[in-house]
Amino acid sequence: MRPVETEDAARRLLARHPSFDLHAHPGRSFVRGAQNLSPAVEAFISAGPSEETAVADMAAGGMSAAVFCAVADLQVLDQDGYALVAKRQFHPGEARASYATQLASLDAMVAHGLVERILDADDLVRIHKSGAVGAMLGVEGGDFLEGSASRVAEAHADGVRCITPVHYHSNELGDTITASPTHGGLTPSGQACIKAMNRTGIIVDISHASEATAFGMIEASDKPVICSHAHIQTPDLQSARFISPDLAKAVTATGGVVGAWPAGIGITDLDGFIDRIFELVDLVGIEHVAIGTDMDANFMPVWDNYRQFPDVISRLGKRGLQEADISRIIGANGLRVLREVQVL
């Protein structure tokens, strides 16, 4: 098999293999119609790309599909320096109303033919073959569940297939990684929601959870879990948003994956992101590494447009990865997790 070292070779690879971004916000659909936002979040919204542009970029770059994420704690977020933090609690019913608004925006993208909905692994494979762009619905933050496991089944009926139980706001399910602990780990409500996600076929994403909460999710789950967008703590680089090597290994011991995250924390260009991918491969193995771009909502991204995707692939090829291993990282590993979690 020929090496994948050029953009043309990368595009041929993309035509042969499905690609799957495990965490993204293409076009920032989560902000359409949003109410009661902080001025800092309002400013962030105003600079965002359109949904049409974002999906066109996916098609041009050869990205078959992504998890299009709503942001459950959007209304309570504000900026603190460079970081986002939860500055207040929700008003009664506010989290549920925000979820409904964001879900309607994502549904509209499907209704208008901009993307095709992904409900299971076969949908993703079919969409790749057709050349369309696929959207799997995810929710970043479990605030909309309001601690109720019964609402997990409702989310599944709404088409949600991935939930990050905790985002920047410590909620009824557990603690965020970026604030002082409130619960000390996964709560009983959180445990019940994880089990409900297993029963209904929704992927558990431990990203943003405190280490104690994340380990609790892993213990509660009897299916693979993911960490969709993060990196590992190293002696030379520490970040509140990175995870320990032990937690990364625990995620992958479930059969799950860690999504390499192209945030500009300790890296300044795409070569740094490639280094990050190889660091994950060295730690957890090629079968457990994926990509989670956080596109259109990332922090100082070194990869900020899907049109760069063939360049990412060719750089992996130039560093010695063969087609089979590249296909695992860009899609097959995430697709396997989806297939193992789904309930048909």
Q: Is residue 67 part of a domain?
A: yes
pTM: 0.96
Structural domains counted in the chain: 1
CATH number at residue 271: 3.20.20.140
Q: Is residue 77 part of a domain?
A: yes
How many residues would you count in the chain?
344
Q: What percent of the chain has pLDDT over 70?
A: 99
**Contacting residues for 225 by C-beta, under 8 A, at least 6 apart:** 203, 204, 205, 206, 217, 218, 251, 254, 256
Q: Is the per-residue pLDDT at 1 higher than 80?
A: no
Q: Is residue 1 part of a domain?
A: no
pLDDT for the residue numbered 81: 78
Q: Is the per-residue pLDDT at 220 higher than 70?
A: yes
Q: Is residue 2 part of a domain?
A: no
d(CA 23, CA 74): 16
Backbone angles phi, psi at 88, to 5 degrees: -155, 175
Residues 44-88 pLDDT 10s? 777 778 899 999 999 999 999 999 999 999 999 998 877 789 999
Cα Rg for the chain, rounded, in angstroms? 18
Q: Is the per-residue pLDDT at 2 higher than 70?
A: no
> Which residue carries 């925006």 as its tokens?
105
Q: Is residue 99 part of a domain?
A: yes
Q: Is residue 146 part of a domain?
A: yes
Instruction: Give, in order, the Cα–Cα distances in Å from 331 to each of 16, 103, 296, 323.
Output: 11, 25, 20, 12
Residue 232, strand partner residues: 243
Per-residue confidence band for 40, with pLDDT thresholds at 50, 70 and 90: confident
Q: Is the per-residue pLDDT at 224 higher than 90?
A: yes
pLDDT for the residue numbered 80: 83
Q: What angle do CA 186, 120, 115 make, to 5 degrees?
A: 105
Residues 137-164 pLDDT 10s? 999 999 999 999 999 999 999 999 999 9
Q: Is residue 314 part of a domain?
A: yes
Per-residue confidence band for 32, with pLDDT thresholds at 50, 70 and 90: confident
Q: Is residue 325 part of a domain?
A: yes
Q: Is the per-residue pLDDT at 320 higher than 60?
A: yes
Q: Which residue has the higher pLDDT, 121 or 83?
A: 121
| Parent domain of 73 | 7-341
Contact 180, 136 (CB under 8 A): no
